[in-house]
Amino acid sequence: MGKRRRLWLAVMMASTALTLAVSGVAVAAEPAVPDTVVYAGALIDGVTFAPRRQVTILVHEGKVAAVEAGYVAHPGATIIDLKDQTVLPGLIDCHVHIASKLPSQANAVEDMVTHSAVDAVLDGAVFARAMLLQGFTSARDVGGGDDTVSLRNAIDAGKVPGPRLWVSLEPLGPTGGHGDPSNGFDSRLHHPDWQNGIVDTPDMARLRVREHHKRGANLIKIMPSGGIASTGDDPRAQLMTNEEIKAAIDTAHALGMKVAAHTYPAQAIINTVNAGVDSIEHGSFADADAVKAMKAHGTYLVPTLTVYDVFMKAAQEHPELLPPGTAEKELANDAIPKRNLPLAYKAGVKIAYGTDIGEGDHAREFALLAEAGVTPADALSFATRNAADLIGAADRIGTVQPGRYADLIAVAGDPLSHLELMEQVRFVMKGGVVYKADGHPVALP
């Protein structure tokens, strides 16, 4: 073949390849990522809580493709053998503050005035990694700032390991209320971010919700009542007006965002539920009427027993590390939520799992729920199916079924008989990526 002919053929072949590429016809496919097969000795899928024995879970491109009876062969797939373990959906904590340190580890006031948002996002990355290794593949952060948006985005981009985050930014509440960061400080001290959550009129509530939405919030957190771990406010008082509460909720719902409400006293719970809130956080002083309102409206309760346990111990052993005047409030009130939870539980109020911590053991809530009379199956449902429903992501997380993310954990035994096994998670997969196997981290920085 002559040189001119060979040159003509080369040009035509290059032109054809370019045409195919531009038209979307693949000329050279990337090597296919092999599917993963998980062999589960038992599976509690979160759809129901009766274990299924000897199950195959097929994972394709980060999602569950099939759940099959028996140990089914899939030639070419990577095999993960968990035949001696119980597999469950990845756990979900609906009330975290991802960058918050344990009260026994830092002086709260000193830490607040000497650490920036950059420090917070770095702390949050450390705590998020630990949380993922504990088996929590998703979480709802209900009170941070721009640092939580940055951390959420970094996790989503695969830059740092951690649970999927839904974030609220700063809680919205009145001047001097539980969400006012300046409580107890010299009135001449100022930080521009301290105003980001202040709401003193219905119009301010609407504006703050819209600002939070613009800054990247997935949901809104409001502070209708006072709290315990803050200086100068009364946890038994409603501090937001009903009009402010409703304005915040209505605006958030119009923007497609759910609303979580830190609410302690019974009447404030009733008022907030009547305004259409999606979840009551803590609900510490709920009475029969408040429980009845939550049940009637289908409002979730997120009890957060862990935080009371943690802060009670801090108030007893290290009161000097807590904000001024709060140790007394902790000692007087922290035992009440555990006594009140059975009222809501027995009434059939919808409950979702939450701890109200960042640093620390997010699985300890299981033991506290059990002490309050919650059955193991219900405790597991709070941290999987119910939590996914509250977040609004039940089509993606909370159960092991086709189309959901391949978020899987495993324990060595039966958690329905031994709920304490949830504090000893041995295997963690999030989105088809294994982060823990045989009780040890895998491929983590």
Banded pLDDT at 31 (limits 50, 70, 90) = low
> What does the block give as tokens for 412?
């060595």
Task: Say how far apart CA 388 and CA 231 lie, in whole Å.
Answer: 34
- Identity of residue 62: G
Q: Which of 132, 145, 133, 138 is nearest to 172 (CA)?
A: 145
Q: How confident is the model at residue 113 (pLDDT cuts 50, 70, 90)?
A: confident
**pLDDT tens string 384-395:** 999 999 999 999
pLDDT of residue 30 exceeding 70 = no
Give the amino acid at 31.
P
Please list, in sequence order, all residues whose beta carbon lies within 8 angstroms of the beta carbon of residue 392, skipping any fewer than 6 positions away: 258
**Amino acid 112: pLDDT:** 86
**What count of other Cβ atoms lies within 10 Å of the Cβ of residue 357?**
27
Kindly tell me if the per-residue pLDDT of 32 is higher than 80: no
Q: What is the pLDDT of residue 3?
A: 45
Query: What span, in angstroms and rounded, lies between the C-alpha atoms of 156 and 164?
Result: 7
pLDDT > 60? residue 10:
no
Regarding predicted confidence, which is higher, 334 or 32?
334
Closest C-alpha among 304, 299, 297, 258 to residue 281: 304
Check residue 443 and give its pLDDT: 67
Please, which pLDDT band fits residue 106 given cuts at 50, 70 and 90?
confident
The model's confidence at residue 405, banded by pLDDT at 50, 70 and 90, is very high
- What is the pLDDT, as a whole number, of residue 108? 87
- pTM to 2 decimals? 0.92
Order the strands of the 164-167 sheet from edge to edge: 91-96, 136-141, 164-167
In this predicted structure, the answer to whether residue 24 has a pLDDT above a threshold of 60 is no
Counting other chains too, the contacts that 314-322 makes at CB distance below 8 Å and 24 or more residues apart are 314/102, 314/103, 314/104, 317/104, 318/103, 318/104, 320/107, 321/103, 321/104, 321/106, 321/107, 321/108, 322/103, 322/108, 322/229
pLDDT in tens, 155-171: 999 999 999 999 999 99
What percent of the chain is predicted at pLDDT more than 70?
Answer: 92
**Please, where are the H alpha helices in 235-358?**
242-254, 266-274, 288-297, 305-317, 326-333, 336-347
Per-residue confidence (pLDDT) for residue 26, from 0 to 100: 45
31-90+399-444: which CATH number, 3.20.20.140, 3.40.50.300, 3.40.50.1100, 2.30.40.10? 2.30.40.10
What confidence category does residue 7 fall into, taking pLDDT thresholds of 50, 70 and 90? very low
For 128-185, the pLDDT digits (tens) are 999 999 999 999 999 999 999 999 999 999 999 999 999 999 999 999 999 999 999 8
Go through the chain and tell me how many residues it has.
445
pLDDT of residue 310: 96
- Tokens describing residue 131: 């949380």
Three-state SS string across 276-305, please?
A: CCCEEEEEEECCHHHHHHHHHHCCEEECCH
Beta-strand relationship, 408-411 and 78-89:
antiparallel
Closest CA to 348 of 301, 385, 407: 301
Instruction: Identify the residue whose tokens are 């009670």.
Output: 312
Residue 400 has pLDDT above 70, yes or no: yes
* Partners of residue 138 on adjacent β-strands: 92, 164
336-393: pLDDT as tens digits = 999 999 999 999 999 999 999 999 999 999 999 999 999 999 999 999 999 999 999 9
Specify the range with the lowest mean pLDDT, choosing from 7-16, 41-50, 240-249. 7-16
Q: Does this chain's domain 31-90+399-444 share its CATH topology with 91-397?
A: no
Q: Is the pLDDT of residue 20 over 50?
A: no
Spell out where 61-191 has E strands.
63-69, 78-89, 91-96, 136-141, 164-167
- Whole-angstrom distance, CA of residue 385 vs CA of residue 399: 6
One-letter amino acid of 371: E
pLDDT tens-digit series, residues 259-277: 999 999 999 999 999 999 9
Domain range 91-397, CATH architecture = Alpha-Beta Barrel (3.20)
Give me the residue spans of the domains in the chain. Answer: 31-90+399-444, 91-397
